[in-house]
Protein backbone atom coordinates (compact mmCIF):
# COMPACT_ATOMS: atom_id res chain seq x y z
CA UNK A 1 0.00 0.00 0.00
CA UNK A 2 1.32 3.43 -0.97
CA UNK A 3 -0.11 5.19 2.08
CA UNK A 4 -1.51 4.32 5.46
CA UNK A 5 -5.29 4.23 5.68
CA UNK A 6 -6.92 6.80 7.97
CA UNK A 7 -8.73 4.76 10.61
CA UNK A 8 -11.18 5.60 13.39
CA UNK A 9 -12.64 3.49 16.17
CA UNK A 10 -16.26 4.42 16.87
CA UNK A 11 -17.25 2.89 20.19
CA UNK A 12 -20.09 3.20 22.66
CA UNK A 13 -22.37 1.08 24.82
CA UNK A 14 -25.50 -0.75 23.69
CA UNK A 15 -28.07 1.61 22.21
CA UNK A 16 -25.82 4.67 22.04
CA UNK A 17 -26.26 5.02 18.27
CA UNK A 18 -22.98 3.77 16.79
CA UNK A 19 -24.56 2.27 13.68
CA UNK A 20 -26.72 5.35 13.06
CA UNK A 21 -23.63 7.55 13.33
CA UNK A 22 -21.65 5.43 10.89
CA UNK A 23 -24.58 5.47 8.46
CA UNK A 24 -24.62 9.28 8.69
CA UNK A 25 -20.88 9.40 7.97
CA UNK A 26 -21.20 7.05 5.01
CA UNK A 27 -24.05 9.07 3.51
CA UNK A 28 -21.98 12.27 3.76
CA UNK A 29 -18.51 10.99 2.84
CA UNK A 30 -16.73 12.53 -0.17
CA UNK A 31 -18.18 11.06 -3.35
CA UNK A 32 -14.76 10.17 -4.72
CA UNK A 33 -13.68 8.18 -1.65
CA UNK A 34 -14.12 4.50 -0.93
CA UNK A 35 -14.66 3.68 2.74
CA UNK A 36 -14.55 0.36 4.54
CA UNK A 37 -16.24 -0.63 7.82
CA UNK A 38 -15.34 -3.45 10.20
CA UNK A 39 -18.41 -4.24 12.31
CA UNK A 40 -18.27 -6.31 15.49
CA UNK A 41 -21.50 -7.39 17.17
CA UNK A 42 -22.11 -9.15 20.46
CA UNK A 43 -24.82 -11.34 18.95
CA UNK A 44 -24.10 -14.28 16.66
CA UNK A 45 -26.33 -12.95 13.87
CA UNK A 46 -24.80 -9.97 12.07
CA UNK A 47 -27.28 -7.12 11.55
CA UNK A 48 -25.28 -3.92 11.10
CA UNK A 49 -23.58 -5.05 7.90
CA UNK A 50 -26.95 -5.33 6.21
CA UNK A 51 -27.86 -1.82 7.36
CA UNK A 52 -24.65 -0.35 5.91
CA UNK A 53 -24.54 -2.28 2.65
CA UNK A 54 -26.78 0.21 0.85
CA UNK A 55 -24.31 3.06 1.44
CA UNK A 56 -21.74 1.55 -0.91
CA UNK A 57 -19.02 0.88 1.67
CA UNK A 58 -17.02 -2.33 1.90
CA UNK A 59 -18.37 -4.13 4.98
CA UNK A 60 -16.82 -6.94 6.99
CA UNK A 61 -18.80 -8.38 9.92
CA UNK A 62 -17.47 -10.18 12.99
CA UNK A 63 -20.51 -11.32 14.98
CA UNK A 64 -20.33 -13.48 18.06
CA UNK A 65 -18.60 -11.42 20.74
CA UNK A 66 -15.55 -9.20 20.93
CA UNK A 67 -13.34 -9.14 17.85
CA UNK A 68 -10.10 -9.08 19.81
CA UNK A 69 -10.68 -12.49 21.40
CA UNK A 70 -9.23 -15.78 20.15
CA UNK A 71 -5.73 -14.28 19.84
CA UNK A 72 -7.07 -11.53 17.59
CA UNK A 73 -7.68 -13.91 14.69
CA UNK A 74 -11.17 -12.66 13.68
CA UNK A 75 -10.09 -9.02 13.88
CA UNK A 76 -6.86 -9.57 11.93
CA UNK A 77 -8.65 -11.47 9.20
CA UNK A 78 -11.33 -8.78 8.91
CA UNK A 79 -8.88 -5.87 8.79
CA UNK A 80 -6.66 -7.61 6.25
CA UNK A 81 -9.62 -8.32 3.98
CA UNK A 82 -10.71 -4.67 4.06
CA UNK A 83 -7.20 -3.24 3.63
CA UNK A 84 -6.79 -5.30 0.47
CA UNK A 85 -9.63 -3.26 -1.06
CA UNK A 86 -7.40 -0.15 -0.62
CA UNK A 87 -10.01 2.05 1.09
CA UNK A 88 -9.55 5.77 1.68
CA UNK A 89 -10.82 5.38 5.24
CA UNK A 90 -11.48 2.50 7.62
CA UNK A 91 -14.11 2.73 10.37
CA UNK A 92 -14.16 0.14 13.14
CA UNK A 93 -17.31 -0.39 15.23
CA UNK A 94 -16.58 -2.64 18.23
CA UNK A 95 -19.43 -4.35 20.02
CA UNK A 96 -21.27 -2.25 22.58
CA UNK A 97 -20.04 -4.73 25.19
CA UNK A 98 -16.45 -4.75 23.92
CA UNK A 99 -13.02 -3.89 25.28
CA UNK A 100 -11.52 -0.83 23.50
CA UNK A 101 -7.96 -1.34 24.74
CA UNK A 102 -7.29 -4.52 22.78
CA UNK A 103 -8.72 -3.08 19.56
CA UNK A 104 -6.47 -0.04 19.83
CA UNK A 105 -3.43 -2.15 20.70
CA UNK A 106 -4.03 -4.37 17.68
CA UNK A 107 -4.21 -1.38 15.33
CA UNK A 108 -1.00 0.10 16.80
CA UNK A 109 0.88 -3.21 16.64
CA UNK A 110 3.72 -3.92 14.22
CA UNK A 111 1.26 -6.02 12.22
CA UNK A 112 -0.91 -3.05 11.24
CA UNK A 113 0.89 0.21 12.05
CA UNK A 114 2.62 0.30 8.62
CA UNK A 115 -0.81 0.23 6.97
CA UNK A 116 -3.15 1.96 9.44
CA UNK A 117 -3.04 5.62 10.49
CA UNK A 118 -5.11 5.53 13.66
CA UNK A 119 -6.92 8.82 14.22
CA UNK A 120 -9.10 10.01 17.10
CA UNK A 121 -11.37 7.49 18.78
CA UNK A 122 -15.02 8.57 19.05
CA UNK A 123 -17.23 7.27 21.88
CA UNK A 124 -20.97 7.70 21.77
CA UNK A 125 -23.07 7.93 24.90
CA UNK A 126 -26.79 8.32 25.56
CA UNK A 127 -27.13 11.26 28.01
CA UNK A 128 -29.89 9.35 29.80
CA UNK A 129 -27.40 6.65 30.76
CA UNK A 130 -24.97 8.93 32.57
CA UNK A 131 -27.03 8.99 35.76
CA UNK A 132 -28.19 5.37 35.50
CA UNK A 133 -26.11 3.14 37.76
CA UNK A 134 -26.81 0.17 35.51
CA UNK A 135 -24.55 1.85 32.95
CA UNK A 136 -22.32 4.12 35.02
CA UNK A 137 -21.12 1.18 37.15
CA UNK A 138 -20.37 -1.00 34.11
CA UNK A 139 -16.62 -1.34 33.48
CA UNK A 140 -16.98 -1.51 29.70
CA UNK A 141 -19.20 1.59 29.66
CA UNK A 142 -16.48 3.55 31.46
CA UNK A 143 -13.58 2.02 29.52
CA UNK A 144 -15.18 3.03 26.23
CA UNK A 145 -15.46 6.65 27.36
CA UNK A 146 -11.92 6.64 28.80
CA UNK A 147 -10.55 5.31 25.50
CA UNK A 148 -11.97 8.17 23.41
CA UNK A 149 -10.74 11.62 22.59
CA UNK A 150 -14.12 12.77 21.29
CA UNK A 151 -17.25 11.97 23.31
CA UNK A 152 -20.48 12.36 21.39
CA UNK A 153 -23.60 12.69 23.50
CA UNK A 154 -26.11 11.30 21.03
CA UNK A 155 -29.92 11.25 21.29
CA UNK A 156 -30.11 14.75 22.75
CA UNK A 157 -33.55 15.06 21.19
CA UNK A 158 -34.76 12.19 23.38
CA UNK A 159 -33.10 13.53 26.55
CA UNK A 160 -34.64 15.81 29.13
CA UNK A 161 -33.15 19.10 30.27
CA UNK A 162 -32.14 17.35 33.50
CA UNK A 163 -30.38 14.60 31.50
CA UNK A 164 -28.36 17.23 29.62
CA UNK A 165 -27.50 19.08 32.85
CA UNK A 166 -26.32 15.80 34.36
CA UNK A 167 -24.20 15.26 31.27
CA UNK A 168 -22.43 18.61 31.68
CA UNK A 169 -21.69 17.97 35.36
CA UNK A 170 -20.49 14.44 34.55
CA UNK A 171 -18.13 15.75 31.85
CA UNK A 172 -16.61 18.26 34.26
CA UNK A 173 -15.87 15.47 36.73
CA UNK A 174 -14.65 13.27 33.89
CA UNK A 175 -12.13 15.85 32.71
CA UNK A 176 -10.93 16.53 36.25
CA UNK A 177 -10.36 12.82 36.74
CA UNK A 178 -8.07 12.83 33.71
CA UNK A 179 -6.39 16.20 34.24
CA UNK A 180 -3.02 14.53 34.93
CA UNK A 181 -3.13 12.96 31.47
CA UNK A 182 -1.88 14.66 28.30
CA UNK A 183 -5.12 13.68 26.65
CA UNK A 184 -7.70 16.36 25.90
CA UNK A 185 -11.36 15.43 25.71
CA UNK A 186 -14.12 17.01 23.64
CA UNK A 187 -17.83 16.76 24.34
CA UNK A 188 -20.24 17.15 21.43
CA UNK A 189 -24.02 16.95 21.74
CA UNK A 190 -26.07 15.78 18.79
CA UNK A 191 -29.07 13.75 17.68
CA UNK A 192 -29.55 10.87 15.24
CA UNK A 193 -25.79 10.32 14.96
CA UNK A 194 -25.23 13.58 13.06
CA UNK A 195 -21.56 14.51 13.45
CA UNK A 196 -19.13 16.51 11.30
CA UNK A 197 -16.76 14.49 9.13
CA UNK A 198 -13.87 16.72 10.19
CA UNK A 199 -13.90 15.01 13.60
CA UNK A 200 -12.50 11.91 11.92
CA UNK A 201 -9.29 13.70 10.96
CA UNK A 202 -8.34 14.74 14.47
CA UNK A 203 -5.12 13.14 15.63
CA UNK A 204 -5.15 10.34 18.15
CA UNK A 205 -4.32 11.23 21.74
CA UNK A 206 -2.25 9.04 24.11
CA UNK A 207 -4.28 6.14 25.44
CA UNK A 208 -4.77 5.59 29.19
CA UNK A 209 -4.16 2.21 30.72
CA UNK A 210 -7.44 0.37 30.62
CA UNK A 211 -8.30 -2.79 32.46
CA UNK A 212 -10.13 -5.56 30.65
CA UNK A 213 -11.22 -9.07 31.48
CA UNK A 214 -12.19 -11.64 28.87
CA UNK A 215 -13.02 -14.34 31.40
CA UNK A 216 -16.75 -13.75 31.14
CA UNK A 217 -16.88 -14.19 27.38
CA UNK A 218 -18.47 -17.22 25.80
CA UNK A 219 -17.54 -18.11 22.22
CA UNK A 220 -18.59 -21.26 20.45
CA UNK A 221 -16.11 -21.01 17.56
CA UNK A 222 -13.13 -19.12 16.18
CA UNK A 223 -14.87 -17.96 13.02
CA UNK A 224 -18.42 -16.74 13.72
CA UNK A 225 -19.22 -16.26 10.03
CA UNK A 226 -21.96 -18.64 9.00
CA UNK A 227 -25.02 -18.94 6.83
CA UNK A 228 -27.88 -21.29 6.19
CA UNK A 229 -26.98 -24.74 4.98
CA UNK A 230 -28.69 -26.22 1.88
CA UNK A 231 -32.21 -27.20 2.84
CA UNK A 232 -32.05 -25.28 6.13
CA UNK A 233 -34.96 -22.85 6.49
CA UNK A 234 -33.77 -20.92 9.53
CA UNK A 235 -31.16 -21.07 12.29
CA UNK A 236 -30.96 -19.77 15.86
CA UNK A 237 -27.72 -18.73 17.56
CA UNK A 238 -27.15 -17.72 21.19
CA UNK A 239 -24.30 -15.95 22.98
CA UNK A 240 -23.60 -14.71 26.51
CA UNK A 241 -20.97 -12.66 28.28
CA UNK A 242 -20.37 -9.43 30.21
CA UNK A 243 -23.61 -10.05 32.09
CA UNK A 244 -25.71 -10.06 28.90
CA UNK A 245 -27.47 -12.69 26.80
CA UNK A 246 -28.22 -12.60 23.09
CA UNK A 247 -30.23 -14.70 20.69
CA UNK A 248 -30.46 -14.23 16.95
CA UNK A 249 -32.32 -15.84 14.09
CA UNK A 250 -31.45 -16.06 10.40
CA UNK A 251 -34.35 -16.86 8.07
CA UNK A 252 -34.10 -17.85 4.42
CA UNK A 253 -34.89 -15.18 1.83
CA UNK A 254 -37.96 -17.17 0.82
CA UNK A 255 -39.73 -16.19 4.04
CA UNK A 256 -41.99 -13.13 4.20
CA UNK A 257 -43.22 -11.72 7.52
CA UNK A 258 -46.39 -9.79 8.30
CA UNK A 259 -45.16 -6.21 8.79
CA UNK A 260 -47.92 -5.03 11.13
CA UNK A 261 -47.71 -8.05 13.42
CA UNK A 262 -43.91 -7.90 13.42
CA UNK A 263 -43.95 -4.23 14.39
CA UNK A 264 -46.44 -4.96 17.16
CA UNK A 265 -44.28 -7.80 18.50
CA UNK A 266 -41.13 -5.68 18.51
CA UNK A 267 -42.98 -2.88 20.29
CA UNK A 268 -44.08 -5.23 23.05
CA UNK A 269 -40.64 -6.76 23.75
CA UNK A 270 -38.84 -5.36 26.79
CA UNK A 271 -35.31 -6.44 25.80
CA UNK A 272 -32.39 -4.05 26.19
CA UNK A 273 -31.57 -4.03 22.47
CA UNK A 274 -33.24 -5.37 19.32
CA UNK A 275 -32.09 -5.05 15.72
CA UNK A 276 -33.54 -6.68 12.64
CA UNK A 277 -33.57 -6.60 8.85
CA UNK A 278 -36.69 -8.40 7.69
CA UNK A 279 -38.47 -9.23 4.46
CA UNK A 280 -42.12 -8.29 4.98
CA UNK A 281 -45.29 -8.11 2.94
CA UNK A 282 -44.59 -4.37 2.64
CA UNK A 283 -40.96 -4.76 1.52
CA UNK A 284 -37.59 -5.14 3.24
CA UNK A 285 -37.28 -3.06 6.42
CA UNK A 286 -34.66 -2.40 9.08
CA UNK A 287 -36.00 -2.34 12.65
CA UNK A 288 -34.08 -0.77 15.53
CA UNK A 289 -35.49 -0.95 19.05
CA UNK A 290 -33.88 1.00 21.89
CA UNK A 291 -35.43 2.30 25.13
CA UNK A 292 -38.80 0.96 24.04
CA UNK A 293 -38.82 3.02 20.82
CA UNK A 294 -39.09 1.19 17.48
CA UNK A 295 -37.41 2.89 14.51
CA UNK A 296 -38.18 1.61 11.01
CA UNK A 297 -36.36 2.29 7.74
CA UNK A 298 -37.21 0.99 4.26
CA UNK A 299 -34.40 -0.94 2.55
CA UNK A 300 -33.87 -1.57 -1.15
CA UNK A 301 -32.42 -5.04 -0.55
CA UNK A 302 -33.97 -7.88 -2.52
CA UNK A 303 -33.59 -11.60 -1.94
CA UNK A 304 -31.93 -10.92 1.41
CA UNK A 305 -32.03 -13.31 4.34
CA UNK A 306 -34.11 -11.93 7.22
CA UNK A 307 -32.26 -11.63 10.52
CA UNK A 308 -33.06 -10.46 14.02
CA UNK A 309 -30.95 -10.12 17.17
CA UNK A 310 -32.21 -9.64 20.74
CA UNK A 311 -29.92 -8.66 23.64
CA UNK A 312 -30.84 -8.35 27.30
CA UNK A 313 -29.26 -8.58 30.74
CA UNK A 314 -31.65 -11.40 31.60
CA UNK A 315 -32.05 -14.77 29.91
CA UNK A 316 -35.28 -14.50 27.94
CA UNK A 317 -37.58 -17.36 26.80
CA UNK A 318 -35.96 -17.75 23.39
CA UNK A 319 -38.09 -20.71 22.29
CA UNK A 320 -41.27 -18.78 23.01
CA UNK A 321 -39.97 -15.84 21.00
CA UNK A 322 -39.02 -18.17 18.16
CA UNK A 323 -42.55 -19.62 18.10
CA UNK A 324 -43.96 -16.09 17.83
CA UNK A 325 -41.59 -15.22 14.98
CA UNK A 326 -42.58 -18.36 13.08
CA UNK A 327 -46.25 -17.48 13.52
CA UNK A 328 -45.62 -14.15 11.74
CA UNK A 329 -44.49 -15.83 8.51
CA UNK A 330 -47.15 -15.43 5.84
CA UNK A 331 -45.54 -17.35 2.98
CA UNK A 332 -42.61 -19.64 2.20
CA UNK A 333 -40.64 -20.62 -0.86
CA UNK A 334 -43.63 -22.59 -2.11
CA UNK A 335 -45.93 -19.61 -1.72
CA UNK A 336 -48.04 -21.42 0.88
CA UNK A 337 -49.66 -19.38 3.63
CA UNK A 338 -48.60 -20.35 7.13
Number of alpha helices (DSSP H) and beta strands (DSSP E) in the chain? 9, 16
Distances (CA, A) of 66 to 58, 83, 210: 20, 20, 16
pLDDT of residue 291: 75
CA 224 vs. chain centroid, Å, equals 16
pLDDT of residue 227: 61
Whether residue 116 is contained in a domain is answered as yes
pLDDT tens for each residue of 246-296:
899 999 888 999 999 999 999 999 898 898 989 999 999 989 888 778 888
Whether residue 286 is contained in a domain is answered as yes
Whether residue 220 is contained in a domain is answered as no
Q: How many CB atoms lie within 10 A of CB 235?
A: 18
Q: Are residues 188 and 75 in the same domain?
A: yes
Whether residue 108 is contained in a domain is answered as yes
Count of domains in the chain?
A: 2
Q: Are residues 38 and 176 in the same domain?
A: yes
Domain containing 269 equals 234-331
Burial class (CB in 10 A: 0-12, 13-18, 19+), 250: buried
Q: Are residues 148 and 259 in the same domain?
A: no
Whether residue 209 is contained in a domain is answered as no
Q: Which CATH number covers residue 321? A: 3.30.1220.10
First-to-last C-alpha distance (Å) of the chain: 53
Q: Are residues 168 and 249 in the same domain?
A: no
Using 50 as the pLDDT threshold, list the residues of the chain that sit under it.
Answer: 70-71, 210-226, 334-338
Whether residue 337 is contained in a domain is answered as no
Q: Which CATH number covers residue 178? A: 3.40.50.300
pLDDT of residue 160: 94
pLDDT tens for each residue of 165-206:
999 999 999 988 877 665 678 999 999 999 999 999 999 876
Which one of 201, 216, 242 terminates a domain?
A: 201
pLDDT of residue 8: 96
- Nearest residue to 288 (alpha-carbon basis) of 304, 269, 261: 269
3-state secondary structure of 197: helix
Q: pTM of the predicted model, to two decimals?
A: 0.72
Query: Rounded to an integer, what distance in angstroms lies between the CA atom of residue 265 and that of residue 151?
Result: 34
Tell me the DSSP string of 50-79: HHHHTTT-EEEEE-SS-TTTGGGHHHHHHH
pLDDT of residue 99: 67
Tell me the DSSP string of 114-144: TTEEEB--EEEE-GGGTT-HHHHT-HHHHHH
pLDDT of residue 147: 87
Which one of 179, 201, 223 terminates a domain?
A: 201
Question: Cβ(35)–Cβ(27) under 8 Å?
Answer: no
- Nearest residue to 7 (alpha-carbon basis) of 139, 120, 149, 154: 120
pLDDT of residue 231: 72
Which one of 178, 201, 224 terminates a domain?
A: 201
Q: Are residues 25 and 170 in the same domain?
A: yes
Amino acid sequence: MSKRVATNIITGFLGSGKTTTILHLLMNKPKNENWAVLVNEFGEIGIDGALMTEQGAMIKEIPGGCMCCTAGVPMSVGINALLRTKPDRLLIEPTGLGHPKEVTSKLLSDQFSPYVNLKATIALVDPRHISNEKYSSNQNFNDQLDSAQIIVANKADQSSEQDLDNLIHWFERFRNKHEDKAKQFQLITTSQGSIDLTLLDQERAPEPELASDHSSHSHSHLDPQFGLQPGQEYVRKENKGEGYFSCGWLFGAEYTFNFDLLFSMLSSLTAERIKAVMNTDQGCYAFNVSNGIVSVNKMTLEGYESRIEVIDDELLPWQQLEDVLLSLIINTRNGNDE
